[in-house]
């Protein structure tokens, strides 16, 4: 493995890295920085937490700094597209930190906040623009951003971008880029649609790959707790009384659920807030800042809002609900154990979520250890398990099945009354 100095990064970047406390490149940085500095296209397969932001930001800064060109009005020289506002904000913060000794200007353009300051900044000229697709298209359509001078284009978290339905926006944006440019595409996973996009955007790309998608970060201690749905809240509150849980990110499947959980936690005197797609960008940023500075101990989030959250020192990720897409489990638990630290991921699993657990275990190719060391442990068999058992012991299971179908009916009615909104 090389060090930052021998890679040949410009001196002001090296000084900034030193003050950030980075001593050695992470594996994705080790693989990606040199080819990018050689102006090669790059396909980077890496999830958040691996140091992928610096992997593309450092060579981009190096190339722009050594090219030493003035910033052009409305025409950034590097464009970084990210799927969420939070991720775009974090990438910009990192770029500011790495470029603090360089005469390069960078900015973020995302929705949910006033467009006017973004227009003004672009009109004054920036070298690097970090943006979410929708706001970038607005700025382009209104004549405040043009992509004709882009030399370096980076598409971050391409898989999430497509999951969130941004494919048409990405295509529209890519169509405005000069043909002669350098492109890097980063993605945690490589499903067929991302591969198709990579084939269109990249020319002879160098492949940089770390931690294949299926291997969950090994440093994370994982546990699953079987618990009935109506006991999850009590379990969570009791669990949070443990002071070892210094900073916990709790995942809920719905926005409604995230609000409800954070309110209930806050009522017990624990500082908590929620972050989801129904909250304004300012409210989301405020909650994130409070979490980052430690003025709240618990942040409750939905999957999409949490995407890209890079908060240091998250000691615990708690899945109040299991994700229905197994890949999200990998993304969720990756919020802890960042940059080499230890972390704990605890999942609450009620009987109807057992099939989600099975799919997760298939994806991570591990069995998540069950912890029954809590007062609400409930090993009641899942629907399928009960069915299988029924064929062996009809007498006993007839009664159980009757009860469970009754309770299913009750639960269905209850859910109908509540009608929670889907997360975004
Ligand atoms: P990322 O995967 O880009 O979200 O980065 C995850 C975390 O790792 C961030 O908090 C970075 O500040 C940190 N980081 C990135 N590169 C290094 C490095 N070479 N040494 C130490 N920490 C790093």
Q: Output the CATH code of domain 4-209.
A: 3.40.50.300
Question: Contact at 8 Å (CB) between 265 and 214?
Answer: no
The number of the ligand 1 atom at minimal distance from the alpha carbon of 94 is 12
C-alpha closest to that of 96 among 135, 49, 54: 54
Ligand 1 mutation pick, 306, 313, 339, max ligand atoms within 8 A of CB:
339
Whole-number Å distance, alpha carbon 179 to ligand 1 midpoint, is: 31
Q: Which long-range contacts (CB under 8 A, 24 or more apart) does 144-148 make?
A: 144/74, 144/118, 144/119, 145/74, 145/75, 145/76, 145/109, 146/74, 146/75, 146/176, 147/75, 147/76, 147/79, 147/173, 147/176, 147/177, 147/178, 148/75, 148/176, 148/178
Q: Which of 54, 60, 93 to mutate to test the pocket of ligand 1 (most atoms within 8 A of CB)?
A: 54
Q: Look at the domain 220-364 and name its fold.
A: Rossmann fold (3.40.50)
Every domain range in the chain assigned CATH 3.40.50.300:
4-209, 220-364
DSSP string, 234-299: HHHHHHHT-TT--SEEEE-SBHHHHHHHHHHHHHTT--EEEE-TTS-HHHHHHHHHHHHHTS-SEE
Mutate to test the pocket of ligand 1, among 1, 17, 53 (most ligand atoms within 8 A of CB): 53
CB of 320 within 6 A of ligand 1: the answer is no
Please tell me if the CB atom of residue 151 comes closer than 6 angstroms to any atom of ligand 1.
Answer: no
> Of ligand 1's atoms, which has the minimum distance to the CA of residue 90?
4
Confidence of residue 341 (pLDDT cuts 50, 70, 90): low
Atom of ligand 1 nearest to the CA of 49: 2
Torsion of CA 389, 395, 397, 398, to 10 degrees: 130
Q: Ligand 1: which of 19, 21, 26 to mutate, judged by most atoms within 8 Å of the beta carbon?
A: 26
Whether ligand 1 lies within 6 angstroms of the CB of 335 is answered as no
In this structure, the residue with its CA closest to atom 14 of ligand 1 is 51
Measured from the Cα of 53, ligand 1's closest atom is: 3
User: Does the Cβ of 339 fall within 6 Å of ligand 1?
Assistant: yes
| Residues near 258 by beta carbon (within 8 Å), at least 6 away in sequence | 252, 274, 275, 276, 300, 301, 302, 423
Predicted pLDDT of residue 339: 57
Is the pTM for the entire model greater than 0.75? no
User: Could you give the 3-state DSSP secondary structure of residue 304?
Assistant: helix
Taking only the tens place, the pLDDT of each residue in 351-372 is 999 999 999 988 787 889 999 8
**Measured from the CB, is residue 336 less than 6 Å from ligand 1?**
no
Binding site membership of 26 for ligand 1 (Cβ less than 6 Å) = yes
Reported as a single tens digit per residue, the pLDDT across 119-128 is 999 999 999 9
The predicted pLDDT at position 381 comes to: 60
For the beta carbon of residue 1, count every other beta carbon within 10 angstroms: 10
Q: Whose CA is nearest to atom 1 of ligand 1?
A: 51
The predicted structure's pLDDT at residue 190: 84
Condensed to tens digits (0 to 9), the pLDDT of residues 221-256 reads 999 999 999 999 999 999 999 988 999 999 999 999
Residue 344 Cα, ligand 1 centroid: separation in angstroms? 19
The per-residue pLDDT for range 72-93, each reduced to its tens digit, is 999 999 999 999 998 999 999 9
Distance between CA atoms of residues 19 and 39, nearest Å: 27
What pLDDT, on the 0 to 100 scale, is given for residue 241?
Answer: 92
């Amino acid at each position: 493995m090389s060090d930052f100095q021998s890679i040949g990064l410009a001196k002001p970047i090296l000084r900034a890295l030193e003050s950030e406390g980075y001593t050695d490149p992470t594996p994705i940085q080790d693989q990606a920085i040199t080819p990018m500095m050689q102006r090669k296209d790059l396909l980077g397969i890496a999830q958040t937490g691996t140091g992928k932001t610096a992997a593309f930001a450092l060579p981009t800064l190096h190339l722009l700094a050594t090219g030493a060109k003035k910033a052009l009005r409305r025409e950034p020289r590097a464009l970084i597209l990210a799927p969420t506002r939070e991720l775009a904000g974090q990438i910009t913060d990192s770029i500011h930190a790495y470029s603090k000794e360089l005469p390069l200007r960078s900015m973020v353009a995302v929705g949910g906040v006033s467009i006017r300051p973004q227009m003004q900044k672009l009109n004054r000229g920036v070298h690097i623009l970090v943006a979410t697709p929708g706001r970038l298209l607005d700025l382009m359509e209104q004549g405040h951003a043009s992509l004709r001078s882009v030399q370096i284009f980076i598409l971050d978290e391409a898989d999430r971008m497509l999951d969130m339905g941004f494919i048409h926006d990405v295509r529209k944006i890519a169509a405005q880029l000069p043909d002669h440019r350098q492109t890097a595409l980063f993605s945690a996973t490589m499903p067929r649609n991302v591969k198709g996009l990579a084939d269109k955007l990249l020319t002879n790309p160098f492949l940089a790959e770390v931690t294949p998608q299926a291997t969950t970060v090994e440093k994370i201690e994982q546990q699953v707790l079987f618990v009935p749905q109506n006991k999850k809240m009590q379990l969570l509150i009791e669990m949070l009384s443990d002071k070892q849980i210094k900073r916990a990110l709790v995942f809920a499947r719905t926005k409604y659920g995230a609000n409800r959980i954070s309110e209930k936690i806050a009522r017990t005197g624990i500082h908590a807030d929620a972050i989801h797609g129904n909250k304004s960008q300012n409210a989301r940023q405020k909650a994130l800042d409070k979490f980052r500075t430690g003025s709240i101990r618990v942040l409750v989030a939905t999957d999409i809002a949490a995407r890209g959250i890079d908060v240091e020192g998250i000691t615990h990720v708690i899945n109040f609900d299991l994700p229905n897409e197994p890949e999200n489990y990998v993304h969720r638990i990756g919020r802890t154990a960042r940059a080499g630290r230890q972390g704990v991921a605890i999942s609450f699993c009620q009987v109807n979520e057992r099939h989600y657990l099975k799919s997760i275990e298939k994806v991570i190719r591990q069995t998540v250890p069950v912890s029954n060391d809590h007062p609400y442990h409930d090993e009641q068999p899942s629907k399928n398990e009960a069915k299988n058992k029924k064929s062996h012991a009809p007498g006993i299971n007839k009664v159980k099945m009757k009860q469970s179908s009754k309770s299913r009916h009750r639960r269905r009615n209850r859910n109908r009354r509540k009608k929670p909104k889907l997360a975004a």
